[in-house]
Every structure is written in structure tokens, then in C-alpha cells.
């Protein structure tokens, strides 16, 4: 193999792939990037066996071939090259990198040892604008579980409904649910790892142009996201997703409108005094506003009052401050509606206009 390319272009693509490389993989070959060159195109592939990323860039190919190279070492070396152009070649499992004034060889592995990343059938299910997809995932992923012992809850549920699609995630303490008014080519009900969805969102960015196409292979139990020279494959999560609709309250005692910025500031202030007690803060709702407070015997106490409208009765509810901040941070409206069903029942955060995005959070039970 022998190619000539621009250093920054190659490095940018390599950096994208390297987010999929583990520092301590179960198989040493999984720390490599597979480089394949043919027909003036180089393809970089990385995988951890659950998530696989394939990226293509146009280069000058003098000699076709393939080799697997330690991804982190290659990226670190290229990051320190000053020249804009480089030549990369391989002889058996040794890779040689030449640029103006520099030369290096890196010991690699045979391309035949690298795990095969299967090509999925060309059956497109959905198509997204990258910017819209980025927004969807950013608002839903905040509620996904990070505990590997609960694999189903570490994924995002994607389900077809009459009005389009529902993207949802829950860790058992909160639920993020987004309605996407888009039709799929056929009914879908999938659980995609939240981590994989984050990588897809990062890879394609927030561009308003272009398309992300989604392909599903139920036989392979995989999904493919493809667009703009990048293909990301991920395994689906087996299992039944919880029936989250049953935990969404249908009626509320109060539903005040609040300035998002003022509420975030008050929660952060109260959280300073609640870190030693599981980040529990108290929100006391009254006609004069919402008093947000935190208190610990070791640190002290602090409170502030936030203006709110439509508070018809007094209620005090305890929440995990992080869970509230996670939900508030992804609501785009500057005015939010916080619907409270009671001190021990789920509460709802949403834009004042509601409808498309809902964030449900469980209160914390405290001793009276």
C-alpha cells in the first residue's frame, strides 16, 4: 500500500474513528485502525465489536493494499507533523510515514486479523438532517442509564407511532421522550445503545445540510447510520423496553411557568449545600414563587426564590439537583413549565409550548 494525502484531512478522519478505540481492549487488534487503499480512496475502520466506524477520504493511491495500525500511536505522531502533506506506505505489517524532514515506521498487524465489519443490506428505514438528529439525541440521551448491568436501560428506544417516531430513554429515575414528526418506510421498534447514538451525533455534527440515512438489519441485529463518507454500525440491544407511558402523569396539582435561566441558577446555588446528601434539594411552591433550598449539617444551608406564575396551592417537593439540571439544560425554550403531581409522584418538565419534548423526573422521598 502507498498513498499521498493531506495531513490535516487524514488526521481529522482518523480522530473521528479513534473515538471508537478502547485503551485496554479484550483483543489487542481492537486498538488498531484498519487502513484500506484502492481506487484513489482510503477507508479507515475501527471497531470494539459493538460499534464500528468506517470513514472514507479521497487520496492519491499509488499502490493498493491494507494494513492494521495502532490507532492512538498513529494519531499522536501525525498530530505533531508540521508538513501539510504526507506519504504513507506499508510493507507487510510495517507502516512507513514520510513528510518533509520527518520519517517514521510503525509496527502494525495483518489486515486479515482485523474483525470483519459486515455491509448491511441497502434497506433504508429513515433519513435525518444531521442538525435535527444532533438535537434529538442531545435531548434524549441525558436520561439513559450508564449502568452496564441494565443493558436495556442503557439504550434509546425508537418506536413508530401514528404521528411519527418516539425517541425515549430512561434510567428508572427520569425519562426523556421526544416526538419526531417523520415517517419511516416501515414500522420500527428498536433499542439502540445510547453511546452509539452519541457517536453518530458527534460524527455528523450539527450541520444543516446533508442527510443521515438509517438502515436496519434485523437478521444481523445491527443498524447502520450512513452519510457524507462516514458509516457507523452498531449492534441493537435485545430485550423489551419498559412501558414508560404508564409513569407519565395525566393530571397535575400545579403547573407553573418559570424562567429557565433563573431556575437553573437557583438549583445550582442550592446544590452547593446538598452534595453530601445525594444532591437532594427542596422546591417549595407558593403564590409568592418557588423557594429552592439545600441544607446539610456539615456545610450549611442556602436558598433563593424564583418567580413563577400559575401556582394555585402550596407544595414542597424534593429532587436530585443533577436530574433537574440535566432536563432543564436541553429544553430550548427560555420559559419552562414544571408540572407537579405531588411530593411522591413523577413531575414533568417541558417547554411552555409542550408537545414534542417531555422530561419526567421522580421526586426524592425524604423523612418528614
pLDDT in tens, 37-63: 999 999 999 999 899 999 999 999 999
pLDDT in tens, 223-232: 999 988 899 9
DSSP 8-state code for residue 327: H
**pLDDT score, position 339:** 95
Kindly write down the DSSP assignment for every residue of 208-246, as one continuous string.
Answer: SSS-EEEEEETTTTEEEEEETTEEEEEEPPPSPPP-GGG
Angle in degrees, CA 89, 92, 95, rounded to 5 = 35
Q: Which of 15-29, 76-90, 172-186, 309-323 has the lowest mean pLDDT?
A: 15-29
User: Identical fold at 2-113 and 124-246?
Assistant: yes
pLDDT in tens, 13-38: 999 999 888 777 788 999 999 999 99
Please state, in angstroms and rounded to a whole number, the distance separating the CA atoms of residues 300 and 294.
Answer: 8
**pLDDT score, position 206:** 81
Please state, in angstroms and rounded to a whole number, the distance separating the CA atoms of residues 64 and 75.
Answer: 22
Q: Cβ of 355: how many Cβ atoms within 10 Å?
A: 10
Reported as a pLDDT band with limits 50, 70 and 90, residue 121 is low
- Residue 36: what are its φ and ψ, rounded to 5°? -120, 130
**pLDDT score, position 149:** 84
Which ranges constitute the DSSP H helices of the chain? Answer: 7-18, 71-79, 130-140, 194-204, 260-271, 321-330
With b meaning 16 or more CB within 10 Å and e meaning fewer, what string describes 29-44? ebbbbbbbbeeeebbb
Asked if residue 166 lies in contact with residue 140, where contact means CB atoms within 8 angstroms, the answer is no
Average pLDDT over residues 173-178: 96
Report, at the CATH architecture level, how domain 2-113 is classified: Roll (3.10)
Domain ranges in the chain are: 2-113, 124-246, 248-361
**pLDDT score, position 228:** 86
Q: What is the mean pLDDT of the chain?
A: 92
Topology of domain 124-246 in CATH is: DNA Polymerase III; Chain A, domain 2 (3.10.150)
Percent of the chain clearing pLDDT 70 (strictly above): 99
**pLDDT score, position 218:** 74
Reported as a pLDDT band with limits 50, 70 and 90, residue 185 is confident
Reported as a pLDDT band with limits 50, 70 and 90, residue 148 is confident
Within a 13 Å sphere around the CA of 13, how many CA atoms are in the beta-carbon half?
23
Cα–Cα distance list, 29 to 51, 113, 205 (Å):
15, 7, 28
pLDDT in tens, 351-367: 988 779 999 999 998 76
Sheet holding 85-91, edge to edge: 60-63, 2-6, 85-91, 94-99, 102-107
Average pLDDT over residues 214-223: 85
Topology of domain 248-361 in CATH is: DNA Polymerase III; Chain A, domain 2 (3.10.150)
Amino acid at each position: 500500500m502507498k498513498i499521498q494525502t493531506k495531513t490535516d484531512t487524514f488526521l481529522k478522519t482518523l480522530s473521528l474513528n479513534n473515538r471508537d478505540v478502547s485503551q485496554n481492549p479484550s483483543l489487542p487488534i481492537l486498538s488498531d485502525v484498519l487502513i484500506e487503499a484502492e481506487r484513489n480512496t482510503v477507508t479507515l475502520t475501527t471497531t470494539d465489536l459493538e460499534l464500528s466506524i468506517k470513514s472514507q477520504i479521497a487520496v492519491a493511491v499509488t499502490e493498493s493494499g491494507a494494513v492494521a495500525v495502532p490507532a492512538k500511536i498513529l494519531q499522536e505522531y501525525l498530530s505533531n507533523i508540521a508538513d501539510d502533506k504526507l506519504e504513507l506506505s506499508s510493507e507487510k505489517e510495517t507502516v512507513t510515514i514520510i513528510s518533509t524532514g520527518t520519517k517514521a515506521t510503525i509496527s502494525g498487524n495483518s489486515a486479515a486479523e482485523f474483525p470483519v465489519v459486515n455491509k448491511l443490506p441497502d434497506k433504508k428505514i429513515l433519513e435525518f438532517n444531521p442538525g435535527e438528529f444532533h438535537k434529538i439525541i442531545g435531548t434524549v440521551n441525558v436520561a439513559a442509564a450508564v449502568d452496564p448491568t441494565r443493558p436495556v436501560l442503557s439504550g434509546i428506544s425508537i418506536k413508530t407511532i401514528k404521528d411519527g417516531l418516539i425517541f425515549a430513554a430512561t434510567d428508572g429515575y427520569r425519562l426523556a421522550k421526544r416526538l419526531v414528526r417523520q415517517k419511516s418506510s416501515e414500522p420500527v421498534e428498536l433499542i439502540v445503545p445510547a453511546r452509539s447514538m452519541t457517536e453518530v451525533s458527534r460524527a455528523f455534527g450539527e450541520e444543516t445540510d446533508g442527510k443521515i440515512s438509517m438502515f436496519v438489519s434485523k437478521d444481523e441485529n445491527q443498524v447502520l447510520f450512513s452519510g457524507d463518507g462516514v458509516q457507523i454500525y452498531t449492534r441493537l440491544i435485545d430485550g423489551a423496553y419498559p412501558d414508560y407511558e404508564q409513569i407519565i402523569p395525566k393530571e397535575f396539582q400545579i403547573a407553573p411557568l418559570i424562567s429557565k435561566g433563573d431556575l437553573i441558577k437557583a438549583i445550582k446555588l442550592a446544590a452547593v449545600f446538598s452534595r453530601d446528601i445525594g444532591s437532594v434539594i427542596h422546591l417549595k411552591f407558593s403564590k409568592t414563587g418557588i423557594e429552592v433550598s439545600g441544607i446539610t449539617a456539615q456545610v450549611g444551608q442556602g436558598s433563593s426564590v424564583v418567580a413563577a406564575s400559575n401556582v394555585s396551592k402550596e407544595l414542597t417537593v424534593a429532587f436530585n439537583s443533577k436530574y433537574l439540571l440535566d432536563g432543564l439544560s436541553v429544553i430550548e425554550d427560555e420559559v419552562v413549565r414544571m408540572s407537579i403531581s405531588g411530593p411522591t409522584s413523577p413531575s414533568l418538565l417541558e417547554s411552555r409550548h409542550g408537545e414534542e419534548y417531555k422530561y419526567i423526573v421522580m421526586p426524592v422521598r425524604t423523612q418528614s
